[in-house]
Amino acid sequence: MNYNYHTHTPLCAHASGTPEEYIINAIENGMEYMGFSDHMPFICANKNQSGYRVPYDKGKLYCDEIKKLALKYKDKIDIKVGFEMEYYPENFKEMLKNARDFGAEYLILGEHFICDESVNGHYSSKDTEDIDLFKTYVDNICQGIKTGVYTYIAHPDMFNFVGDKEIYREQMRRICKVSKEYDIPLEINFLGIRTNRIYPNRKFLEVAAEEQSPIVFGLDAHSTEDSYDGESLKKAMDIVNELGLNYIGRPKIISIK
Ligand SMILES: [Zn+2]
Ligand SMILES: [Zn+2]
């Protein structure tokens, strides 16, 4: 594995280490392609900003800083700057415009919430039997894929639907089918492997294998040591081989410039 397009920075307030430290560690471990994809700045309808995002007024600074580093290390590693961004139907156009204005080069889709990020909102990893919420999550990701601007889908299996297993498979199959049809990869998320989260979800990946959706890896690095992760790589390759997943290697970057 010589690529990773899922990297955070301390600007999102839940990561440690400097971007330059991440880059040096990645180079030392043989990485050749690296992308920063911190959480997209976003001001909600209630004028609040979620605490897990890069602050709105730091969006441009973040892109500028990574571009400077990309130049500094260009002979050793190819570095791109982008964002991990939800697909919220109502806000998509504005968010895409802002991402471009900040200077982002690419996007990955991470649907952490279902539109509403207030205390009343639903965090995708929180367990629920609510079918409507689950369908909205799936709808958003499918629509997001169809916009053609997202390079890949980060942790598509982060939604924690604990209801009927057949409904789970049926809904997740919609994501897998659209991913295959539009050739937009789904990520096996190494943060999930490292920290034993509910993703990667085997039931999800079984459906992805049946549909032969394109699969990529993402480190979801939140600290310097995470900018390479050989241990999770072994586990991820085991899952790929065991389930017969369509692992494609380095994703093709969709430029939003
Ligand atoms: Zn994420
Ligand atoms: Zn992430």
- How confident is the model over 208-234, as a mean pLDDT? 97
Distance from the alpha carbon of residue 124 to the mean position of ligand 1, in angstroms: 10
Task: Report the 3 state secondary structure along 113-154.
Answer: ECCCCCCCCCECCCCECCHHHHHHHHHHHHHHHHHCCEEEEC
Q: What is the pLDDT of residue 45?
A: 76
What distance in angstroms lies between residue 47's CA and the mean position of ligand 1's atoms? 22
Quick check: 46 pLDDT over 80? Answer: no
Ligand with an atom nearest the CA of residue 109:
1
Query: Residue 88 Cα, ligand 1 centroid: separation in angstroms?
Result: 15
pLDDT of residue 147: 98
Alpha carbon of 257 to ligand 1 centroid (Å): 22
pLDDT value, residue 115 = 81
pTM of the predicted protein model:
0.97
Tokens of 178: 């659209």
Interval 102-147: pLDDT, tens: 999 999 999 999 988 888 889 999 999 999 999 999 999 999 999 9
∠ CA(37), CA(44), CA(38), 5° rounding?
Answer: 10
Give, as residue ranges, everything with CB less than 5 Å from ion ligand 2.
Answer: 84, 220
Among candidate residues 143, 50, 41, 130, the one with its CA nearest the CA of residue 90:
143
3-class DSSP state of 106:
strand
Q: What is the pLDDT of residue 12?
A: 86
Q: What is the 32 CA–ligand 1 centroid distance (Å)?
A: 22
Mean pLDDT of 86-90: 96
Q: What is the pLDDT of residue 185?
A: 98
pLDDT for 13: 83
Higher pLDDT: 32 or 45? It is 32
Domains of the chain plus CATH, in order, are 3-247 (3.20.20.140)
Distance from Cα 131 to the centre of ligand 2, integer Å: 25
Distance, CA of 204 to CA of 169 (rounded, Å): 7
Question: How far apart are the C-alpha atoms of 110 and 242, rounded to whole Å?
Answer: 26
State the pLDDT at residue 120.
Answer: 83
Q: How confident is the model at residue 183 (pLDDT cuts 50, 70, 90)?
A: very high
